[in-house]
Amino acid sequence: MKAVLRTCLGICSLLIVVSPLSAQEDSKGCSDHRLLSRMHNFYITSCQEVEYDSHDFYDAERKKYVIEGHKWTINYRIKKGLKPAGVLKIRKNYVNAVKKIGGIVLSEGSRTYMRGPKEGKETWIELNLATTTTGDNYSLTVVEKTAMEQEVAAHARPMATDIKETGHVAIYGIYFDHDSYHMEPESAPTLKAIAEMFKTNSMLNICVVGHTDMTGELEYNMRLSSERAQAVVDALVNEYGIPSNRLKAKGVGPLSPVSTNRTEEGKRLNRRVELVKMGSFGSGQVRTKSPEERQVSSIVGSEFTALLDAANTSYSEGIKIETVDKLKMAVRSVWDEVPLTVRHVRLVSDPKNYTSKKNNIYGKDEPIYITSQIFGHKLKEVGDGYKTSITTDFLVLDDAGNVLGGQQDVYKFDHISPIPVTDFSLDLTYTLTGAPEGTYNLQTTVNDKNSGKTTKFETMIEIR
């Protein structure tokens, strides 16, 4: 499953017309964060400022802290022709600077995590040196921790309308502490609106469904999503007086995403609570599902739920192989709704053993090996087998975003298996024949021929 691309980039004349001086000026609209200056002789290649976002920080024991607030990302590079500063020198400079203003260092390494002084706004800092061995480039991510200003209020009437028309509604106004089912006080207005909806729709019964993103282990996320859904049910019953026989809690973890898990915004959309219209609970009578229930069967479908229950039973009885089989079947039952996604993209130095490359620097005409994993590809039934059909397209861009070359259908994979193959490794080999020294963005588009879905990922490399 390998594709080799040899593209001769006829771009030398194009690169020559780029002014060396302009390439070493700060990117337009970018500047240092007010808390920290830059290393001497470095310039800003790109930056991003987001009013409210989240970022992961880690301490020395790899405990994760998800910090939300005003976020800056600033990328720096040494000016051309100057000697790199060295990784250690850059790290020590920033560590000393943070300590000098009363901050602390959580952990040091290729990614160093720090926290600024607690006076005023709580500021968290990541110094990223993972893409260099010489100290010729680095990036800073700074998050000023703040509580999000709630601009959107939940209202009972629109929620009831959505449930009536579609059978369900996604709720983003319920907030939990990190890795916990403890609800934050900011959730109160949304819970109140849900309670009002119940009181004005006396025949309405709801299943509260908890969702997580893909971060962490499946078993943990399944449990956490169930606990969060139950926390919502408990709050509605105990604090707002909603009868318990009108509510049920379910958790489906990361198995029903509405967006990609490759971006913070996508993860935020996937972390949600949904209200799903149901019939009477606990009657013991057999009834036909309503159109609304059938429409959202992928969320709390009987097949998926039954498979998870069966897996749990097998596990409690010590039948581990049957537990795995049932879990695989549960994943397969929702597989077609998973968006086409590429994860675990990395450069490798040895494609036979998948040894990770220590940096992204290559010599001229040196092969570039990339491995990744594809999720969400459609498994087309052919006879008694399952067909996977994937192709990829390829573009080369310079660090300014200009397209320099490319090729369609670089990689083609058609395979029929007697079992549904959800674990799919995409291994690529690129060679930029004749490319001059510089930084390049390798953009790969993955096409699923069975479903028509496409997705893309980018890999930054440097040729010296």
Per-residue pLDDT tens digits for 411-456: 888 889 888 888 888 899 999 988 899 999 999 999 999 999 999 9
Q: Where is pLDDT greater, at 232 or 202? A: 232
- Determine, yes or no, domain membership for 67: yes
Are residue 36 and residue 138 in the same domain, yes or no? yes
Task: Tell me what the mean pLDDT of segment 213-241 comes to.
Answer: 90
**Same domain, residue pair 350 and 458:** yes
Select from 100, 120, 145 the last residue of a domain: 145
Cβ 311 vs Cβ 422: under 8 Å: no
Task: Tell me: do 91 and 132 sit in the same domain.
Answer: yes
How far is 386 from 421, CA to CA, in rounded Å?
Answer: 8
Domain span at 185: 156-300
Task: Let me know: does 2 contact 371? Beta carbons within 8 Å.
Answer: no
Do 129 and 190 lie in a common domain? no
Burial string for 241-251 (b: 16+ CB within 10 Å, else e) reads: ebeeebbbbbb
Q: Is residue 136 part of a domain?
A: yes
Total count of domains within the chain: 3
Torsion angles phi and psi, residue 96, rounded to 5: -65, -40
Same domain for 347 and 241: no
CATH number at residue 196: 3.30.1330.60
Is residue 293 a contact partner of residue 302, using CB atoms and an 8 Å limit? no
Question: Quick one: 169 and 289 in the same domain?
Answer: yes
Distance from C-alpha of 276 to C-alpha of 181, rounded to nearest angstrom: 20
Residues 129 and 188 in one domain: no
pLDDT of residue 23: 47
Which of 111, 126, 145 is the last residue before a domain boundary? 145
105 with 199, same domain: the answer is no
* Mean pLDDT on 297-316: 67
The closest alpha carbon to 255, from 333, 179, 341, belongs to: 333
For residues 188 and 274, state if they share a domain. Answer: yes
Single pTM value for the model: 0.39
Please state, in angstroms and rounded to a whole number, the distance separating the CA atoms of residues 245 and 281.
6
User: Are 141 and 186 in the same domain?
Assistant: no
- Compare 207 and 157 and report the one with higher pLDDT: 207
User: In degrees rounded to 5, what are phi and psi of residue 42?
Assistant: -105, 150
